[in-house]
Amino acid sequence: MRPVSIRAKLTAWYVFVFGAVLACFCISIYVMMERKLSHSVDRRLQTMAELISKTELCAVPHFLPPDFERRLNRIFGTRPVGKFVRVLDLSGEIGSRTDNLEENKIPVNKDLIREVVAKGEIVFETQYPLGPDMPIRFINFPVKSFKSNKVRGVVQVGTSLEFVRESMRNLVVIFFVLVPSLLFVAAVVGFFLAGKALKPIRDIARTTRHITVNNLEERITVPVARDDVGQLAATINGMLDRLSLSFQKITQFTADASHELRTPLTIMRGELEIALRGERSSEDYLETLGSSLEEVERMSKIVNDLLLLSKSDMGHEILQHDPVDLRILLTNILSHFKILADKHQIQLSSALEEVETVFGDHLRLRQLMVNLLTNAIRYTSVGGKINLTLRGVESGVEIAVADTGIGIPVEDIPRIFDRFYRTDKARSRQYGGSGLGLSIVKWIVNAHHGTIRVDSVVGEGSVFRVMLPTEKKMRREKLRKK
Ligand code: ADP
């Protein structure tokens, strides 16, 4: 099924709402008009009846003036066209009547007359003696004596409601012509306006459709007016910026990863080719095998690191959430690193305070510390110092690894956590680095809701500070979020 365009939907809604309003308007006009006309008919009937009741025509109800019609004409100056008049006595017997009223055509409702007489109140009545299409409206007006205020008879003045019916019919015809015409005009105008309003969105859709991986740099022209459409265009452009950046990062990452794996492969290939060129001593073969193994280990470390990072990117790397005593963890790691530091003639000291436990993954926190300490040893020269501290701070627990190594240039600091970023490639590679260590550190810190800060001076050393929330704080935070 072809999808209905927003333009058509908007027009349909517009016509529907306009039609509903128009229908309400027409119904109100119809009802008001009918009431007004009926009311004015009743008022006129009442005025006439009142006038007649005050004349000699009703003085003696039983008296049948032979010239009733003539006298009536005299009262009104002219013959009241379309009206009939009759005077009834208290029992509902007709005393006098106009000629236009054939006897018995409009029967007298004697019960009603008795009620009018008893209550002394006006009663309006509609009858259909000439068929359902010819309603006759008339008033039953009690004639009261001047002195005693007693009812002496009843004056009936009636008229056909034909003209009211006719007017209402005409009104309906007008509505039936007017409403569809107005709806048609509304549909045309609505369709045109919706098209005009949606044109910028169509333009945006057209441009967006043409943007592919090959022209990710293209952008949508943002309308000058900062209205909804302008905001949409700006939002899409923002998204394209982010996509383009991510794409660049992925491309760069793929290139870096291939490059990083190619180097050990080239070395291995060279060494193996030399070994195969001629007969060698078993020591030479052993050396070649040992060197190849080193390169294989380097490659498998890179591949493992890459795997971990891609898993973390996809959210597949699930962390344990256990209480971890950092003092025990760091003491344990220190005993291993002391040996390594001694080997590099670096002095490794520590000051580990008793701190509250943190909530996290024991294995990953260990990996974090290993990466930081490995870097500290890697980038500190013989005779240098490394100091590891652990202390409780207001925001949780702080672990600091300070070294007196080569330091990091200020402009490089924001980039050292990027994948494969290395300030000194040769040195990093020489000591087995691949440029992924700090990316993993950053991921672990973030996954533990912590922060990491670096202060460094070239030639003097660097301090990496990791801040982690305590278990208590994490639990409080969780409760607050619930
Ligand atoms: P690598 O495997 O190269 O050490 P990392 O991601 O661990 O990769 O570190 C990225 C870069 O940050 C390193 O190449 C190095 O230039 C710099 N760096 C990291 N730690 C230190 C440190 N303690 N002292 C000086 N430079 C460092």
Closest CA to 399 of 444, 349, 335, 352: 352
Class of domain 322-481 (CATH, top level): alpha beta
Tokens of 376: 């500290």
d(CA 302, CA 308): 10
| Atom 21 of ligand 1, nearest CA residue | 375
pLDDT above 90: percentage of residues in the chain? 47
Mean pLDDT taken over the chain: 87
- Binned at pLDDT 50, 70 and 90, residue 426 comes out as confident
Burial bucket for residue 325 (CB in 10 Å: 0-12, 13-18, 19+): middle
Tokens of 294: 């080193």
Collect all residues with Cβ–Cβ distance below 8 Å to 260 and sequence separation of at least 6.
302, 420, 434, 435
Q: Is any atom of ligand 1 closer than 6 Å to the C-beta of 305?
A: no
Q: Please give the distance, rounded to the nearest whole angstrom, from the Cα atom of residue 418 to the centre of ligand 1.
A: 11
345 φ, ψ to 5°?
50, 50
| Atom 20 of ligand 1, nearest CA residue | 375
pLDDT of 64 strictly over 60:
no
Q: What's the distance, CA 33 to chain centroid?
A: 45
Domain with CATH 3.30.450.20 in the chain: 6-167
pLDDT of residue 149: 76
| Atom 19 of ligand 1, nearest CA residue | 375
pLDDT of residue 410: 93
- Binned at pLDDT 50, 70 and 90, residue 82 comes out as low
- The better pLDDT of the pair 475, 364 is held by 364
Mutation test of ligand 1: which of 259, 378, 439, 445 has the most ligand atoms closer than 8 Å to its C-beta?
378
Summarised one tens digit per residue, pLDDT across range 253-294 is 888 889 888 988 998 999 899 888 888 888 888 998 998 998
Mutation test of ligand 1: which of 253, 344, 379 has the most ligand atoms closer than 8 Å to its C-beta?
379
Q: Please give the distance, rounded to the nearest whole angstrom, from the Cα atom of residue 336 to the centre of ligand 1.
A: 20
- The better pLDDT of the pair 134, 344 is held by 344
Q: Please give the distance, rounded to the nearest whole angstrom, from the Cα atom of residue 363 to the centre of ligand 1.
A: 21
Pairing relation of β-strands 385-393 and 347-352?
parallel
pLDDT of residue 363: 93
pLDDT of residue 91: 80
Q: Which helix (H) or strand (E) holds 339?
A: helix 326-343
Give the ligand 1 atom nearest the CA of 380. 24
Summarised one tens digit per residue, pLDDT across range 175-226 is 999 999 999 999 999 999 999 888 888 888 888 888 888 888 888 888 777 7
pLDDT of 365 strictly over 70:
yes
Class of domain 228-314 (CATH, top level): mainly alpha
- Binned at pLDDT 50, 70 and 90, residue 103 comes out as low
Summarised one tens digit per residue, pLDDT across range 234-260 is 899 999 999 999 888 888 888 888 988
| Atom 14 of ligand 1, nearest CA residue | 422
Q: Please give the distance, rounded to the nearest whole angstrom, from the Cα atom of residue 426 to the centre of ligand 1.
A: 12
Q: Is any atom of ligand 1 closer than 6 Å to the C-beta of 376?
A: yes
Q: Please give the distance, rounded to the nearest whole angstrom, from the Cα atom of residue 452 to the centre of ligand 1.
A: 14
Return the CATH number of the domain spanning residue range 6-167: 3.30.450.20
Does this model's pTM top 0.95?
no
pLDDT of 71 strictly over 80:
no
User: Looking at 145-149, 186-190, 433-437, which range is the least confident one?
Assistant: 145-149
pLDDT of residue 376: 96
Domain with CATH 3.30.565.10 in the chain: 322-481
Strand ordering across the sheet containing 94-97: 94-97, 83-88, 151-160, 136-144, 123-127
Give the ligand 1 atom nearest the CA of 403. 23
pLDDT of 11 strictly over 80:
yes
Summarised one tens digit per residue, pLDDT across range 311-342 is 888 877 778 889 999 999 999 999 999 999 99
User: 212: phi > 0 → left, psi -120 to 50 → alpha, else beta; which?
Assistant: beta
pLDDT of residue 211: 86
Q: Is any atom of ligand 1 closer than 6 Å to the C-beta of 402?
A: no
pLDDT of residue 77: 65
Q: Is any atom of ligand 1 closer than 6 Å to the C-beta of 416?
A: yes
Q: Please give the distance, rounded to the nearest whole angstrom, from the Cα atom of residue 334 to the centre of ligand 1.
A: 20
d(CA 439, CA 87): 110
pLDDT of residue 400: 98
Q: Is any atom of ligand 1 closer than 6 Å to the C-beta of 420?
A: no
pLDDT of residue 65: 61
- The better pLDDT of the pair 81, 275 is held by 275
Domain with CATH 1.10.287.130 in the chain: 228-314
Summarised one tens digit per residue, pLDDT across range 372-393 is 999 999 999 999 999 999 999 9
Mutation test of ligand 1: which of 374, 387, 422 has the most ligand atoms closer than 8 Å to its C-beta?
422
